[in-house]
């Protein structure tokens, strides 16, 4: 397992959940929820920089058959924008199938009221994404998911699409 603090991100239309792990990469814990908008990348980038994170794992919402849809494209675009903002810290995309379902199941297990969970379900989904990525790396010995590449036009100050 590579050492260093990592962040896990669950990018949604209504909320973005954030989780972090310890420097040994053992345990993911919830951190915050931010609203998507003009300052979301800046808020996450500040957190990454302030805590000297070595990597960020962004959940990639692929379909159950492994395909891509509008949510997948939105997550890829958001991850590229984040990668540009926090360079040279690497950003990786990791399959997040069923992370939100798992998050709801975990909240059900602790009897969290349905009305109270809106603010935390995305954080718990981010925990599921990050913990699964950490466990995957421990099992395989390789970094999880796929690296986010910044296009040449982005590196030269062009479009952040």
Structural domain contains residue 21: yes
Residue 156 lies in a domain: no
Whether residue 113 lies inside any domain: the answer is yes
Inside any domain, residue 1: no
160 vs 138 pLDDT, higher one? 138
How many other C-beta atoms are found inside a 10 Å radius of the C-beta of residue 119?
A: 12
Instruction: Provide the domain limits for residue 135.
Output: 6-149
Q: What is the pLDDT of residues 18-63, one digit of tens each?
A: 999 999 999 999 999 999 999 999 999 999 999 999 999 999 998 7
Indicate whether 155 belongs to any domain.
no
* 65 vs 73, residue with greater confidence: 73
Q: For 1-23, how does the pLDDT look when each residue is reduced to its tens digit (9 = 90+)?
A: 889 999 999 998 899 999 999 99
Is 122 a member of any domain?
yes
Q: Which of 17-26, 84-93, 95-104 has the lowest mean pLDDT?
A: 95-104
What does 14-70 look like in DSSP terms, one character per residue?
Answer: S-EEEEEE-TTS--EEEEEEE-SSTTHHHHHHHHHHHTT-SEEEEEE---TTS---H
pLDDT of residue 118: 65
Domain membership of residue 161 (yes or no) is: no
Let me know if residue 157 belongs to a domain: no
Could you tell me the pLDDT band of residue 155, with boundaries at 50, 70 and 90? very low
CATH of the domain at 64: 3.30.420.140
Q: How far is CA 96 from CA 39, 64, 101, in A?
A: 24, 10, 10
Give the pLDDT score at 159. 40
DSSP result, 65-133: TS---HHHHHHHHHHHHHHHHHTTS-EEEEE-TTHHHHHHHHHHHTT--TTTTHHHHHHHHHHHHHHHH
Q: How many distinct structural domains can be found in the chain?
A: 1
Structure confidence at residue 1 (pLDDT): 80
pTM: predicted TM-score of the whole model, two decimal places: 0.84
């Amino acid at each position: 397992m590579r050492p260093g603090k990592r962040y896990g991100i669950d990018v949604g239309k209504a909320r973005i959940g954030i989780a972090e792990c310890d420097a040994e990469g053992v345990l993911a814990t919830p951190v915050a929820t931010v609203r998507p908008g003009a300052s979301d990348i800046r808020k996450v980038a500040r957190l990454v920089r302030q805590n000297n994170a070595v990597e960020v794992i962004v959940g990639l919402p692929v379909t159950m058959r492994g395909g891509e849809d509008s949510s997948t494209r939105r997550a890829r675009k958001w991850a590229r924008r984040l990668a540009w903002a926090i360079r040279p810290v690497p950003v990786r995309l990791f399959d997040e199938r069923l992370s939100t379902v798992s998050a709801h199941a975990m909240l059900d297990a602790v009897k969290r009221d349905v009305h109270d969970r809106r603010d935390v379900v995305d954080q718990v989904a981010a925990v599921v994404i990050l913990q699964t990525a950490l466990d995957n790396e421990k099992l395989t010995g390789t970094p999880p998911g796929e690296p986010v590449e910044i296009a040449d036009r982005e590196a030269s100050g062009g479009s952040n699409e």
